[in-house]
Structure 1
């Protein structure tokens, strides 16, 4: 994998200082420790850090076409590049390398902006066409690879693989985006297209941005979206066979590498299915990597070992202390903006382990979204059955009032909490799902934010992110709706962000066979009953894998990567939480109500309530303020001096 940076003068041809682009490039060295390259010409600078995977000898970047008029810097893999080379050769293009990168420049010459529609893979790239004075930015369909950009007041456009590369330029203002703060505290990440900073954006998945010198910068153009048609007439037996064939094709494409390759193996269904498929198509034993937690309540390593033994993999296990909270500050440095998924800790560790043995690792990410694996999907379907008999216009006033009047019963099992059920009945489908995935619910965010900050928000609510996507979703089918919402939000903003930064911190490339876009499109055509049925998720995947994996692996309860936040915050991290949440850093922002911060801390410490998720979200926001904002301000003062 790699890192790219761009500085483009949209108004003229000002000189771009070498030290500026070199500084931006260098802060991403971890993404590409093998080689670095810079190209400058009047009004443009391209930088690249390379992690060599394919065509080790001649794949250096920036890479140019035959006459040097088109250049590209690229992060990712074009898995179908070998089939595109003969087609482009027949069109008259000459290849000097064996790399997938060179396919991009010739595909641009042949097909222009539509070139991305021919690519199958994970990618983010910036392409410069000197003859057309055009900068072309593109991101893959499912947002596996990141791409940030910012237009500065002086007309310079910056782009990079990580937000830290844009910050390293020194010209971007550090003003926080209030809407991004609201979204972060609702979801635990800042969803596309926002970043935590007003002046920077993320290029959304499945979009391109074409910038022509001297022209107004347009909005990004969408070139792909997944449509849940659910109208495929295939039988379930035939679907199982086709799924296996599609998985094998996807995995084969992702086995192309000139460096050691393996896979993550957690012992869950998705990673086990990927490894089982690798074992079926690979010529040599698969290398698999797992971590083992010291606390059995969080440890899945025995299941991973069972799968590894059955499939005959070369299995590596690394023990990790479940109290591995020393990574808090490192995570803030890695993620650049607030990020509150605590599973980033074990993800960071398993990437660290994998890099000792391989340079490329396949993962099972994306399976829950496409196959219907999350427990919250089944709960949402149950709630939808309650909501279905009555129209929203009737449910909202009646059950909304009853929900407000009914006393809370947090001590009771969820299904018996009448207040919660009444409130659920008063919501629309989108409101209900947003509520179920929110880390800090609407009422808690309202209490937590200061009066001044609520005024600055002007009524904005993070649910607008979901409403925007829901307008394009299949709202007739409740499962298809929430799958689409997750593919647009959680998968991109949380899962892909987590894996990209954790893996790149260790110069490890991660490939996701379950996010192969033809596979995702095909799964979206299948009936929802193939995915969730009778309280069981991932029905089709599990049935297809029964000949290859043990029943115990396929049908055991889902665990996921978890850490004991509640215990940490009452024990070894108690004082750190107090310092972070009740100290000066959060107070000086003016964003929060100090009394509510104190109530959250005290209620959790006493054991009256479990506020571990909100506390972690606040803790990571404070770490962002100290590390990203504090360090950036200090660096700018140093450069100025």
Structure 2
């Protein structure tokens, strides 16, 4: 696990200074505190910050083959590297290290761009082939590891694990992309492949990018993998449960390979508990487990984590977070480099901070909800689909559209009476309805918040287009499979994986994700959807499969989530900060917002009349981004 960076002259061999590549590489020093090295040759600079996990003595990067013609900087882990090593040795390749990094170098020599199909793991790498004058970038299938890049005005190409690598280059222009602002205030994040800056891009998950020196134009990323939901597996439910346990066991086993202390996050939820139970069955020594508790019982799951820790006699560590633990706002704004509004980044940061005291590698349960149908919103969407399937769209628009507009936004009411979102969704098609349910701010709320001038600058663009583009690629008519696919392409990669990567690497902690193994994901996509949501039960097959291994109360309790008391914070200890930040000169002069609308949101929230915690938190994180990136080109 590391940080990578580089500069490539796409048209010639202009010299690149060691000071420059060292400076941009050091911008992500937190990702790799163990070693720091760069490689320079005419027209190319590669940088690497290393967190040593496998082959501690000989895994330094940039790493070149024995002929010195093919080199790489690599972030991630290749879990099948031992099998690939044997295969490549049989093809005549000689290894000087025991590292998975060298496997990729020889895999390129053996199979070229197709090498990515042989790699099982989480990865982002840049590989230089001097003989072909080719720079090859790749990102793993599920987007666990990040890759950012940009073309500079002098036709140089720059890349790095984090956006701060790009902004550290003096030639990079920090002009904000208005479309990214629209996506942020819709979804709470800027969706891949867009970045907050116009000139920056994220390499999409499951894509490669090939640059050849002297070639005209800017090449586009190429997709090498996608999940296809067939839902046509004829396996019985009982056999599927057994195979699911076996596949998870294999995935966990591969991710337990490390030359450093290893443990797991244990939240008390089903996914992390299943991972820990599997680790315990594979380990001859107690598993190190880490949990975060909250002093507010509404958000605390630590008792469920203890049930699992006690059952498997893990070496368990629990850290209780104070309900007023909100002093990370500026830290998070710096870590994520662009506006990021998922408030669960706070407890994620804290659990990574605690875990790093005891281990260097931690396994997580991320990805289970997306693959197994674990979210409440999935069941809600399927219920809406039943209605949408009975009535034509034109009729639904005429019937439910007005009802959705007239029905009050009853934040204060019991959940069963908060029908506004559902009524609005019933007037939409499936993709639009799911985007609507995933939106932090709905269309009418954004129109109220944004200034008229900024809305005009969007040229009619709405974040729904992100969902439309992915929906067109889904190749499925199954209602659950469609929204799972949409989550893989948006929520999982741009929110969950981004959150965990930055929070963990802030503490030089490697997090591995057995439930996101691509072979497991592919197999789960063949199962019938009613294996996943059955008789109103989310994750039915997973819970039934782990009944012999986990307490009933862990498996079948209500899902709580990794939440923080935002509404209370913003009315209480953060009240003055919110008013000062959101009504201050920076937010007023940036040109994005209607100041009167912001004032009304603050007043209504403080009075208790409405719960505007979501939008106020988004505005607060946006203001922190602007403040920490003083000098960015704002709108207006």
User: TM-score, normalising length from structure 2?
Assistant: 0.98
Aligned: 1:41 with 2:41 = yes
The residue number in structure 2 matching 1:606 is 607
The residue number in structure 2 matching 1:205 is 205
Distance in 2 (CA, whole Å) between partners of 1:406 and 1:435 is: 16
For the residue of structure 1 that corresponds to 2:48, the secondary structure is strand
Q: Deviations over 1:66-123 (max 9, x none)?
A: 1101110000000000000111111111111000000011000110000000000000
Q: Deviations over 1:4-30 (max 9, x none)?
A: 001000011010011100001111111
Is contact 1:378–1:535 with CA below 8 Å preserved after alignment?
Answer: yes
The residue number in structure 1 matching 2:465 is 464
The residue number in structure 1 matching 2:582 is 581
The residue number in structure 2 matching 1:260 is 261
Distance in 1 (CA, whole Å) between partners of 2:420 and 2:265 is: 42
Q: Deviations over 1:123-157 (max 9, x none)?
A: 00000001100000000000000000000111110
Is contact 1:474–1:480 with CA below 8 Å preserved after alignment?
Answer: no
What pairs up with 1:181-196 in 2 under 5 angstroms? 181-196=181-196
Q: Deviations over 1:467-526 (max 9, x none)?
A: 100111244211111111001100000000000000000000000000000000000000
State how many pairs are aligned.
Answer: 632
Instruction: Describe the shift of the 1:416–1:132 C-alpha distance in structure 2 as closer, same or farther (beyond 3 A).
Output: same
For the residue of structure 1 that corresponds to 2:168, the secondary structure is helix
Is contact 1:34–1:51 with CA below 8 Å preserved after alignment?
Answer: yes
Is contact 1:399–1:425 with CA below 8 Å preserved after alignment?
Answer: yes
Distance in 2 (CA, whole Å) between partners of 1:106 and 1:153 is: 34
Distance in 2 (CA, whole Å) between partners of 1:406 and 1:280 is: 52
The residue number in structure 1 matching 2:246 is 245
Q: Deviations over 1:425-483 (max 9, x none)?
A: 21111111111111111101011111111111000000000010011124421111111
For the residue of structure 2 that corresponds to 1:233, the secondary structure is coil
Q: Deviations over 1:251-290 (max 9, x none)?
A: 0100110000000001100000000010111221110001
Instruction: Describe the shift of the 1:421–1:131 C-alpha distance in structure 2 as closer, same or farther (beyond 3 A).
Output: closer
For the residue of structure 1 that corresponds to 2:339, the secondary structure is coil
What is the CA-CA distance between 1:536 and the residue it aligns to? 1.1
Gaps of 5+ in 1: 634-641
Distance in 1 (CA, whole Å) between partners of 2:106 and 2:166 is: 28
The residue number in structure 2 matching 1:288 is 289
For the residue of structure 1 that corresponds to 2:98, the secondary structure is coil
The residue number in structure 2 matching 1:171 is 171
What pairs up with 1:58-207 in 2 under 5 angstroms? 58-207=58-207
Is contact 2:230–2:525 with CA below 8 Å preserved after alignment?
Answer: yes
Aligned: 1:274 with 2:293 = no
Distance in 1 (CA, whole Å) between partners of 2:180 and 2:396 is: 31
Distance in 2 (CA, whole Å) between partners of 1:412 and 1:328 is: 30
The residue number in structure 2 matching 1:542 is 543
Instruction: Describe the shift of the 1:407–1:508 C-alpha distance in structure 2 as closer, same or farther (beyond 3 A).
Output: closer
For the residue of structure 2 that corresponds to 1:113, the secondary structure is helix
Deviates more, 1:346-355 or 1:414-423: 414-423
Q: Deviations over 1:558-583 (max 9, x none)?
A: 11111111011111000000011111
Distance in 2 (CA, whole Å) between partners of 1:431 and 1:169 is: 39
Q: How well do the aligned residues superpose, as a CA RMSD in angstroms?
A: 1.3
The residue number in structure 2 matching 1:557 is 558
Is contact 1:337–1:628 with CA below 8 Å preserved after alignment?
Answer: no
What is the CA-CA distance between 1:412 and the residue it aligns to? 4.4
What is the CA-CA distance between 1:394 and the residue it aligns to? 2.7
The residue number in structure 1 matching 2:386 is 385
For the residue of structure 1 that corresponds to 2:127, the secondary structure is strand
Is contact 2:425–2:437 with CA below 8 Å preserved after alignment?
Answer: no
What is the CA-CA distance between 1:243 and the residue it aligns to? 0.5
What pairs up with 1:392-431 in 2 under 5 angstroms? 392-404=393-405, 411-416=412-417, 420-431=421-432
Distance in 2 (CA, whole Å) between partners of 1:91 and 1:255 is: 28
Deviates more, 1:86-95 or 1:481-490: 86-95
What is the CA-CA distance between 1:382 and the residue it aligns to? 1.1
Is contact 2:229–2:476 with CA below 8 Å preserved after alignment?
Answer: no
The residue number in structure 1 matching 2:6 is 6
The residue number in structure 2 matching 1:327 is 328
Distance in 2 (CA, whole Å) between partners of 1:456 and 1:83 is: 53
Is contact 1:332–1:628 with CA below 8 Å preserved after alignment?
Answer: no
Is contact 1:586–1:622 with CA below 8 Å preserved after alignment?
Answer: yes
Instruction: Describe the shift of the 1:34–1:405 C-alpha distance in structure 2 as closer, same or farther (beyond 3 A).
Output: closer
Distance in 1 (CA, whole Å) between partners of 2:260 and 2:231 is: 40
Distance in 2 (CA, whole Å) between partners of 1:36 and 1:391 is: 61
The residue number in structure 2 matching 1:224 is 225
Instruction: Describe the shift of the 1:330–1:403 C-alpha distance in structure 2 as closer, same or farther (beyond 3 A).
Output: closer
Distance in 1 (CA, whole Å) between partners of 2:365 and 2:445 is: 34
The residue number in structure 2 matching 1:482 is 483
Instruction: Describe the shift of the 1:27–1:71 C-alpha distance in structure 2 as closer, same or farther (beyond 3 A).
Output: same
Distance in 2 (CA, whole Å) between partners of 1:344 and 1:604 is: 23
Aligned: 1:305 with 2:306 = yes
Gaps of 5+ in 2: none
Aligned: 1:356 with 2:357 = yes
Distance in 2 (CA, whole Å) between partners of 1:90 and 1:405 is: 70
Is contact 2:51–2:508 with CA below 8 Å preserved after alignment?
Answer: yes
Instruction: Describe the shift of the 1:423–1:92 C-alpha distance in structure 2 as closer, same or farther (beyond 3 A).
Output: same
The residue number in structure 2 matching 1:447 is 448
What is the CA-CA distance between 1:406 and the residue it aligns to? 5.5
For the residue of structure 2 that corresponds to 1:357, the secondary structure is coil
Is contact 1:566–1:611 with CA below 8 Å preserved after alignment?
Answer: yes
Distance in 1 (CA, whole Å) between partners of 2:528 and 2:235 is: 9
